[in-house]
Structure formats: structure tokens, C-alpha cells
Amino acid sequence: MSKSLVIVESPAKAKTIEKFLGKDFKVVSSNGHISDLPSSELGINVEDNFKPKYIVSKEKKEIVKKLKSEVKNVETVWLASDEDREGEAIAWHLKEALGPKHNYSRVRFNQITKTAILDSFSDPKEIDLDLVKAYRARRFLDKVIGFELSPLLWKKIARGLSAG
């Protein structure tokens, strides 16, 4: 049993990173975002302070189920998604989906080298909520504008266009 579970965005990164970290670490992939606003509705309650309704898509339910199973047997969950606002949101959604009872650490690196990986694990951080808020603001704008304007584009210009 591994003492630590590392969750990265990309399956391609997982094997390389696992080699760098050694036998006490198991590295798995979330395959990108696990949660998003629903595609069939706005998913944002504008009357309730823009409260979002995040859902796990059908395609990601099996991944989340597998990750929940994996975290049961480890001491620490390392969230190692990319260091941009998208990656920070992925880390935040993972933490939300997997539950608060686990010990989480956030690591960031901008290259897949042994030195960069080991350095990031020696100095873990918290999830940067400012980057999560930036992601949410961008996603909300895309969704509100796209959800409201896209049907108008379909009527006036061409079906299938997106204003988001």
C-alpha cells in the first residue's frame, strides 16, 4: 500500500512522476476536470449570489469512483494538477469531490523533471483560492453570456454557434 496518492491531470504524466517519487507514492490521473456546470441549463443561481451548481459528468463518474476508492488507503493526497487557474480549479474540485476527511497538499511544477518534482513535494502549499475564484469568474461569464446569447445566434446567424 502506498502512503501517498498523487493526482495529476494527465495520464501521460502519471507514470513519469511515479518513477521520480518512488514506492511510497501512487500517481493517478483525473483526466482533467471532474466537475463543471451542467450543459443543459445555466447552472448558476443569479438570485442567490451566483451560486453554482457543479456536477460530475457521466464520463467522469467512474474516475471519481476510482479516486474515492484510492484515497481510502493513503495518508496524504497530493493534488498536482497544472499551476494555472484551470489546474487550481481541478485541485479544488477534486478536494470537494473526495471529501474533507483526507489530508491534502497542493504541489505545483512547470516541468516534468526529477528536480522540479522533488522540489515541489518538499514545499507543498494550499489551494490558491484566488486562482479558483478567477477560474469561476471566467467560467461564469462564459456560461451566462453563452447560455443567453447562443440561442439568439442560432436564430439569427447559424445553428451550433456558441457565444461563450
β partners of residue 29:
8
| Predicted pLDDT of residue 153 | 65
pTM over 0.75: yes
β partners of residue 103:
76
Q: What whole-number distance in Å separates Cα of residue 164 and Cα of residue 160?
A: 12
Taking alpha carbons only, the member of 100, 104, 102, 101 closest to residue 91 is 104
| Predicted pLDDT of residue 50 | 85
Residues 140-164 have pLDDT tens digits of 888 887 767 766 666 767 666 565 5
| Predicted pLDDT of residue 31 | 94
Neighbours of 133 (CB within 10 A): 14
Write the single-letter amino acid at 59: E
| Predicted pLDDT of residue 77 | 97
Query: In the numeric block, which cell numbers belong to residue 112?
Result: 516534468
Ranges of residues in the chain with a pLDDT under 70 are: 1-2, 147, 150-154, 156, 158-164
